[in-house]
């Protein structure tokens, strides 16, 4: 070996174990995540529709005094919203006409965002990212749509047409969905952490009377949850150490689910997104991607340098 070869820089790239780990995580069935997202976002709209049904007069009053939608009478708007939420959420649970079902919900979210609650954009971003994911990637194999497509559509013409539409929808950038989900779930935990920080006494009381986490004093549990939410949410928003940042949040969700099981709809919603980010990564709009590309190019430059040096070195 020549002296020049000894002096050449050693290649620094992505460790092989990290590549293998990502491949292993990527084997987690996407259909389970799609099912969790369908149930999670479906429960949001189902509970909202059920509340309007149980307190319809209050819902009408809300549309009259606060929402004030143009072109629609309050009673009509309240009834349309109720029917829309109850019907579409049920279809999402079943995975029936899933892609079509997302459209009226996306329309309703847009109307609320523009005309009613513009400050509620973090929630709308979270729900909208899931709905667009289901629109562009479908409901998964754990759905009635999958059974219909596989066993009941016999016409080759219809199969080809549906395949063409699905292929066109799938062209929607996956990285944008990853970014929107990261921002949505990150802001949810950031707001929860900030609320604990601003009202720490109330958070401590909540852990003492409602959550009752074993082995931890309420103040310690509240402070741990606050630090966890604030820290991990910032990492998620930046897309920095994204996969690692999901683990403390998933652990916290699991613990709270055990001690506070009635909150399972929110936990399914957040958990499915966190597992999605854990297994599929943060996407190209993230600091993780920039770091990975830096090391990838550094390894390429190092390899090129060694090749050129080896080719010119004296024997």
Mean pLDDT of 170-175: 96
Band of residue 155 on the pLDDT scale cut at 50, 70, 90:
confident
Per-residue tokens: 2: 């020549």
Per-residue tokens: 153: 């559509």
Say whether pLDDT at 162 is over 80. Answer: yes
Say whether pLDDT at 230 is over 60. Answer: yes
Q: Which pairs with CB-CB distance under 8 Å and at least 24 residues apart come from 242-245?
A: 242/182, 242/277, 242/281, 242/282, 242/286, 242/288, 243/25, 243/277, 243/278, 243/281, 243/282
C-alpha span between 275 and 242 (Å, rounded)? 11
Query: What is the share, in percent, of the chain residues with pLDDT greater than 90?
Result: 73
Mean pLDDT of the chain: 90
Q: What is the pTM of this model?
A: 0.89
C-alpha span between 249 and 213 (Å, rounded)? 15
Over the stretch 113-141, which tens digit does the pLDDT of each residue have? 998 889 999 999 999 999 999 999 999 99
C-alpha span between 52 and 85 (Å, rounded)? 10
239: left (phi over 0), alpha (psi -120 to 50) or beta: left
* CA dihedral over 209, 212, 217, 221, signed as positive or negative: negative
Band of residue 4 on the pLDDT scale cut at 50, 70, 90:
very low
Pick from 116, 72, 97, 71: nearest CA to 162: 97
Mean pLDDT of 272-283: 96
Give the single-character DSSP code of 217: -
Check residue 214 and give its pLDDT. Answer: 85
Over the stretch 12-51, which tens digit does the pLDDT of each residue have? 567 888 889 999 999 999 999 999 999 999 999 999 999 9
Query: In the chain, where does DSSP find H-type helix?
Result: 3-7, 16-25, 30-54, 56-62, 74-94, 98-111, 121-137, 144-147, 156-169, 174-198, 200-206, 218-238, 242-259, 264-280, 287-312
* Residues 279 and 31 sit within 8 Å (Cβ to Cβ): no
* pLDDT greater at residue 304 or residue 61: 61
Query: What is the share, in percent, of the chain residues with pLDDT greater than 70?
Result: 90
C-alpha span between 30 and 238 (Å, rounded)? 24
C-alpha span between 130 and 298 (Å, rounded)? 36
Pick from 11-20, 59-68, 174-183, 295-304: least confident: 295-304
Pick from 230, 243, 232, 234: nearest CA to 289: 243
Check residue 11 and give its pLDDT. Answer: 43
C-alpha span between 170 and 280 (Å, rounded)? 16
Per-residue tokens: 22: 């990502």
Mean pLDDT of 56-73: 88
Per-residue tokens: 158: 């219809």
Check residue 313 and give its pLDDT. Answer: 47
């Amino acid at each position: 070996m020549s002296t020049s070869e000894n002096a050449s820089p050693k290649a620094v790239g992505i460790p092989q174990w990290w590549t293998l780990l990502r491949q292993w995580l990527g084997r987690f069935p996407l259909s389970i995540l799609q099912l969790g997202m369908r149930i999670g976002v479906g429960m949001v709209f189902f509970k909202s529709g059920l509340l309007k049904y149980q307190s319809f007069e209050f819902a009408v009053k809300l549309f009259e005094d606060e929402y004030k939608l143009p072109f629609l009478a309050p009673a009509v708007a309240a009834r349309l919203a109720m029917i829309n939420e109850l019907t579409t959420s049920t279809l999402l649970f079943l995975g029936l006409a899933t892609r079509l079902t997302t459209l009226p919900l996306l329309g309703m979210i847009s109307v609320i965002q523009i005309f009613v609650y513009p400050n509620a954009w973090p929630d709308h971003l979270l729900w909208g990212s899931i709905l667009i994911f289901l629109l562009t990637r479908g409901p998964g194999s754990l759905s009635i749509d999958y059974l219909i497509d596989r066993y009941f559509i016999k016409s080759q013409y219809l199969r080809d047409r549906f395949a063409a539409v699905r292929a066109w929808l799938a062209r929607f950038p996956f990285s944008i969905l990853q970014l929107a989900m990261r921002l949505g779930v990150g802001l949810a935990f950031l707001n929860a952490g900030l609320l604990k920080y601003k009202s720490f006494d109330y958070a401590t009381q909540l852990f003492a009377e409602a959550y009752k986490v074993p082995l931890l004093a309420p103040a310690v549990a509240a402070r741990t949850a606050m630090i966890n939410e604030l820290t991990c949410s910032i990492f998620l928003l930046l897309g920095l150490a994204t996969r690692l940042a999901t683990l403390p949040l998933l652990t916290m969700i699991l613990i709270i689910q055990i001690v506070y099981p009635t909150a399972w709809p929110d936990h399914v919603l957040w958990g499915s997104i966190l597992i999605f980010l854990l297994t599929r990564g943060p996407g190209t709009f993230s600091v993780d991607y920039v770091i990975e590309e830096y090391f990838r190019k550094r390894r390429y430059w190092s390899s090129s340098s060694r090749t050129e040096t080896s080719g010119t070195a004296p024997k």
